[in-house]
Amino acid sequence: MGYTEVIQVMGAMIIFALVLTTANRFMLNNDTVRVSSEVEVRAVSIAQDLIEFSKTVPFDAATVGNNVPDDVPDDFVNGNPVPSTTAANRQNIDSFEELNDYSETLNTDLGEFEVTSVIEYMDPSDLTSTTTSRSIYKRISVTVSNESMMNDVNLSYVRVYNNSN
Amino acid sequence: MNLGLVTSFIIAALLMLSIVSMNLRMSQSTQDISMHSMSQNHVSAISDMIQYDFPKVGYNVSGPITDPITVAEEDEIQFQANLDNDTGESVETVTWRLEDDVLAGSINSDHRSLVRDVGGDSQEINVGVTRFEIRYYSFGDPNPMTTPVTNTEDINRIEVILEVQPREGTGRNNQYTTSSWHRVFTPPNLNL
C-alpha cells in the first residue's frame, strides 16, 4: 500500500469520524431534552407546592389567628418595600409576606432545585401591575432553578384578602 | 498474500463494525425517546386525575368534612370529598391504590395496576405504573409520618410520587426509561 492509499484511508477515517461525532451529538441532545423535560415537570411541581403552601398561611401578620384588622389595608405590612423574611424554612413562616425573599434548596433524585419567592402588593385597579402601596391583593412569584434546565421556571399567584384569611 | 490487501480488509471490517454499532445506538436512542415520550403522556394523564382529586380532600359545599382521610398507607389512600361539588352534598369516598400483583400480560415485571375508586365505581389504570407512593406530613414537621398513619387527623400535606415505565425495554440489557412525577398537595380543607 502506497502513500496515496494511506492518505485516502485517513481521509475516509476523518469523514467517518465527523459523521460519528454528529451522530453522538444528536444522541446527546436527545438525552439532554429527555432529562430536562423531566426536570422541568418536577420544577413546576415544586413551584406549585410552594404556592399551595402559601395559601395555607394567614394573608398578613395583622390577620394571624383569624384577627380582622380595624383598618384594611392600612394595617397590613409595609409595602415599600415588603420586608425580607428571616425564616430559614417553611415551619418558621407565619404569614404570607414572610415568603418575601424566601429561598430554599431541595435535594432530589434529579439534582438540587433552588426555590425562591417574592411577595408584592398588586394594584387593585390593574392586577397585572405591582404597587408599593398596601392593598388587599398580594402576589407570590416563585422561581425554581436547576442546573439541567436552560431556563428557570416562574409561577405566580395573586391572593386576595377576604376578611377570613 | 498482499499486506496492503489484508490491511485494507481489516480497516474495512473495523469501519463496518463502527457503522453497525453507530446504527444500533442511534436506533436505541430514537426508541428511548419514543418510549419516554409515551410514558410521559401516561404520567400526564394520570397526574391530571390525581390533581383533580387530591386538592379536594375533605371538601364539601357547606364546610370541611371532619377527619376526611380514612386510610393512609404508603400505596393506598382513602378519603372523603364532594368531588363533583354536588349542592345536595353527596360525599364520595375516593380510593387510590397500587395493586401488589404484577400486571397480567405485561413484559415489564414492575408494572402494577393503579386503581381509582370513586363511590364504588372502580377504574383500573393499566398503563405501566411502576411506583405510586404516598407520603403524609403533619404541620410543622418536614419528615413524613410513619405509614400506615393512625392519627390521620394530623395530616395536612400529602406527597404523591408516580413513576411510569414503558412495556418494553431497550438495549442489550433491556433497560426501561422511567418517567416520574412528584407533587406535594396542601389541601385547603386539611389546613383550616
How confident is the model at residue B1, as a pLDDT? Answer: 63
Burial class (CB in 10 A: 0-12, 13-18, 19+), A128: exposed
Which of A34, A42, A48 is nearest residue B36 as measured by Cβ atoms?
A34
The interface predicted TM-score of the complex, written ipTM, equals 0.74
Distance from CA of A80 to the nearest CA of B (A): 30
Q: Which of A125, A133, A129, A122 is nearest to A159 (CA)?
A: A122
**Nearest-CA residue of chain A relative to B31?**
A30
Distance from CA of A111 to the nearest CA of B (A): 14
CA pair distance B33, B103, nearest whole angstrom: 24
Q: Which of A145, A132, A117, A127 is nearest to A54 (CA)?
A: A117
Interface of A with B in 29-68 (CB under 8 A): 30-31, 33-34, 37-38, 41-42, 45, 48-49, 52-53, 55-56
Q: Is A105 on the interface with B (CB under 8 A)?
A: no
Q: Are A110 and A39 in contact (CB under 8 A)?
A: yes
How confident is the model at residue B58, as a pLDDT? Answer: 92
| DSSP assignment letter at B144 | P
Full domain range(s) for residue A145: 3-160
Is A85 within the bounds of a domain? yes
Q: With bands split at pLDDT 50, 70 and 90, how would you rate the model's confidence at A13?
A: confident
**How many domains does chain A contain in total?**
1
Domain definitions of chain B by residue range: 37-190
Interface of B with A in 119-178 (CB under 8 A): 140-142, 156-157, 177
Q: Which of B38, B178, B45 is nearest to B110 (CA)?
A: B178
How confident is the model at residue B114, as a pLDDT? Answer: 94
Span A37-85, pLDDT tens digits: 889 989 999 999 999 889 888 999 898 888 888 888 888 988 888 889 8
Quote the crossing angle between the two packed helices B3-53 and A3-56, to the nearest 10°.
10
Tell me the whole-structure pTM to 2 decimals. Answer: 0.81
Instruction: Give percent above pLDDT 70 in chain B.
Output: 99
Q: Is B34 on the interface with A (CB under 8 A)?
A: no
- Omega of the bond prior to B148 within 30 degrees of 0, cis? yes
Tell me if A34 and B177 make a contact (CB, 8 A cut-off): yes
**Nearest-CA residue of chain B relative to A55?**
B188
Rg over alpha carbons for chain B, rounded to the nearest Å, is 24
- The C-alpha cell that represents A98 in the structure block: 414572610
Rounded to 5 degrees, what angle do the CA atoms A89, A103, B182 make?
Answer: 80
CA pair distance A159, A55, nearest whole angstrom: 8
Tell me if B32 and A30 make a contact (CB, 8 A cut-off): yes
Span B105-158, pLDDT tens digits: 888 888 999 999 998 899 999 988 999 999 999 887 878 999 899 999 999 899
Q: What is the mean pLDDT of residues A112-138?
A: 93
List of E strands, chain B:
69-72, 76-81, 92-102, 112-118, 121-138, 155-164, 179-185
How confident is the model at residue B45, as a pLDDT? Answer: 94
Residue-averaged pLDDT of chain A: 89
Tell me if B26 and A56 make a contact (CB, 8 A cut-off): no
Q: With bands split at pLDDT 50, 70 and 90, how would you rate the model's confidence at A2?
A: low
- Mutation pick from A31, A38, A42, A107 vs chain B, by most beta carbons of B within 10 Å, is A38
- The C-alpha cell that represents A134 in the structure block: 398596601
Measured between alpha carbons, how far is residue A104 from residues A54, A88, A154 in Å?
14, 8, 15
CA pair distance A55, B130, nearest whole angstrom: 32
Tell me if B188 and A55 make a contact (CB, 8 A cut-off): yes
How confident is the model at residue A165, as a pLDDT? Answer: 61
Q: What is the mean pLDDT of residues B162-176?
A: 84
Look up residue B71 and give its amino acid: V
- The C-alpha cell that represents A119 in the structure block: 411577595
